[in-house]
Structures are given as structure tokens and as C-alpha cells.
Amino acid sequence: MSMEEDDVQAHLKASIWDTVSELVDQETKGLGISATPTFIAALVQLVFDQLLSVGEDLKAFADHAGRRTIVPDDMFMVTRKNGQLTELLKNHYSLLLSEKKGRQEEEYHEAHGHSSYKDNQDRKLEDSTVVDSRKKSTENNRGDFDDDSDEFDDDLDLEPIQRPSKR
């Protein structure tokens, strides 16, 4: 291993140590016990080795697909034998994509001088709610269908719904 790779590995292990020791502290406090530094060191080594293994698997899937870039589908392939983990990762990935899309749409509309994108989205939601409630109201008040005459009973006064004028 080169000097640079050694530095990266040392930095990675230090980061893992910080995270693992913090998590162990949180969990052991709740249980009223403490963990020895030897236990934490062993757990750090286990996590580090597992991350190296996952990294190698991710690289292998990307190489097999003829790519130099690892994509989320590679991770889903790595976790495919653990259905719950794969589903959790897919849900999280979908959430990240929808958040990113929302931010991109908002940035686009703001950059192009449109009124606040969020305000427009709120207005669209209000308009669709009004339309839905009117539609349901109209559907519920159409009267009964008279099977004998093939006509609607006219005992209900229905007026056309007019959209409120814009301010």
C-alpha cells in the first residue's frame, strides 16, 4: 500500500472509531453498562472489514456492468439476499430522489423569475382540493336513475359550478 492509501485508511478508521464509539456509548448508557476500549476496537475492525468487503462487491458489480461508476442498483445487488435491507435502501433512495427533484424544480422556477414555486404548488393543491370536493358534491347530487324511463329524476336543482374569478 502506498503512503497515500495508508493515510486514507487511517483517516477512514478514525472516522469509523468516532462513529462506533459514539453509538456504543449511546447504547450502553441505556443499558447501564460500559464497553471496554478493546471491545470498541474489535467492533471498529469488524465494521472496517465489512465496509471493505461491500466496497469490493460494489466495484465488482460496476465492473461486470462495464461501468467505472458505482450506482444505487449495485448496492441493491449487494444487499439482494437481505430483502428488508434492500427494501429499506430503495425507499430511502426514492425519498432522496423526490427531495432532490423538489429542490431542482424550486431552484429552476426561482432562477427563471417565476413567483415563489412553493406558493404556486400550494395554490395548485388548493385548486385540486376545491375541484375534487365540487366533483364529489356533484356526483353525490345527481339524483336517482329511473330504470323504467331511462331518464334522471329532476327533483334536484343543480346549477353549474363556476370557478371563482382570479384576484
Q: What is the pLDDT of residues 41-56, one digit of tens each?
A: 999 999 999 999 999 9
The pTM is what? 0.57
pLDDT of 93-114, one tens digit each?
999 999 988 888 888 888 887 7
Q: How confident is the prediction along the chain (167 residues), in pLDDT tens digits per residue?
A: 788 988 999 999 999 999 999 999 999 998 999 999 999 999 999 999 999 999 999 999 999 999 999 999 999 999 999 999 999 999 999 999 999 888 888 888 888 877 655 566 666 666 665 555 555 544 444 444 344 444 434 443 434 444 455 54
Q: In the chain, where are the structural domains located?
A: 8-67, 79-121
Specify whether the CB–CB gap between 134 and 141 falls below 8 A: no
The one-letter amino acid code at 35 reads A
Specify whether the CB–CB gap between 43 and 20 falls below 8 A: yes
Helix axes 37-64, 3-31, angle to 10 degrees: 120
**Residues pairing with 139 in the sheet:** none
Q: For residue 93, what pLDDT is reported?
A: 93
User: Which has the closest alpha carbon to 135: 163, 157, 155, 156?
Assistant: 163
Q: What is the chain's percent helix, strand, coil content, to nearest 5?
A: 70, 0, 30
User: What are the φ and ψ backbone dihedral angles of 131, each rounded to 5 degrees?
Assistant: -60, -45
Q: For residue 159, what pLDDT is reported?
A: 44
First-last CA distance in the chain = 70
